[in-house]
Amino acid sequence: MLTSSTIQETAGAQTNDKKSQASLLQQLITEGQNEASQGFDTKSALEIARIINHEDAKVAAAVKKAIPEIAEVIDQVARSLRDGGRLIYIGAGSSGRIAALDASECPPSYSTAPGQVQYIMAGGPKALASAVEVNEDSEELGQRDIARRRPTRKDVVVGVSASGRTPYVVAAVAYARARGAHTAAVTCNHETPIAGAADICIIADVGPEVISGSTRMKASTAQKMILNMITTGAMTRLGYVYENLMVNVHMQNSKLVERGIRILMSACNIDRETAVQTIKSAGRSVPVALVMLKAKVDKPEAVRRLAKSDGNVRLAIEDNVLEL
């Protein structure tokens, strides 16, 4: 039974906890005030655009400093996908939406199976369009949502959190790591809880936002660049890219069919009619068509080579064994 003194003690603890959280929040770089945008509300449209552009120019340099860690994650994701594992992003708010975007674009770009690259968003799919930010404060929900995906040692779980302290994301990453999954974090602050929860922490220190705390700006731009590098790098390491061509493109609409034709024309230096006919005979598969033309083999042999190389187009052409 709760007594009045117990209630007061509980309320006092909650107040102290809120004060502690507020203090931690104030220390985050992403929550600081940016000197470059002082008096921002008094600026003209041209001045506003110039200030934002000047700050955005700092993002690539911040990401550059994290390249060694990004490369580690690229190789781990490639190994996991090759071995039948998954890449699972988890995030909240703007960070979650960036993660969802990257995961959603892998199937049309690289013909990945829907389950290979996944995302978990605090608040569920409805949070992509509508703010359900209260969920990000719940460790229990984070653990519950990742537990439903049953992470294993084959998987890579990447927590995306600009602040690096989102309870939902931190708890999910810690849970996945405890279950043996390889874990990584993408954040824009140093010395944060998510760094301790993950095996690898990618930090893009982009500094304070033009609008204080608006991490949908520089922080989200940095996160998108990093996630693009992870999936593009992993898919390239797996051989789904030949030279710099998106040869594993999923030809499900007229634009992608045309892209597949142009890719084959460019890679093999052939005319359009030859490219169209080869793609048809290859069962509308650009990788199969490319191996047929480059290795001068028929469709069954091209399919056999691709199966042997786990879909690595270059190794299928050379008929080598895949090594990552």
Query: Do residues 128 and 156 touch, judged by C-beta distance below 8 A?
Result: no
CB 158 within 8 A of CB 89: yes
As given in the structure block, the two tokens for residue 201 are 């922490």
Please confirm, yes or no, whether 105 is among the known catalytic residues: yes
The answer to whether 284 and 251 are in contact (CB under 8 A) is: yes
Q: Is the dihedral of CA 283, 284, 288, 292 positive or negative?
A: positive
User: Can you tell me the distance from the alpha carbon of 47 to that of 51, in angstroms, rounded to the nearest whole number?
Assistant: 6
How far, rounded to the nearest angstrom, does the alpha carbon of residue 319 sit from its chain's CA centroid?
31
Q: Residue 194 in contact with residue 66, Cβ under 8 Å?
A: no
Check 55, 69, 136, 209 and give the catalytic one.
136
DSSP letter for 35, please: G
Closest Cα to residue 162, out of 7, 295, 29?
29
Round to whole Å and give the CA distance between 104 and 106. 6
> How far apart are alpha carbons 302 and 282 in whole angstroms?
9
> How far are the Cα atoms of 49, 110, 247, 309 from residue 234, in angstroms, in the given order?
35, 11, 14, 15
136 an active-site residue?
yes
Q: How many CB atoms lie within 10 A of CB 196?
A: 13
The residue annotated as part of the active site, out of 72, 105, 139, 301, is 105
Active site residues: 105, 136
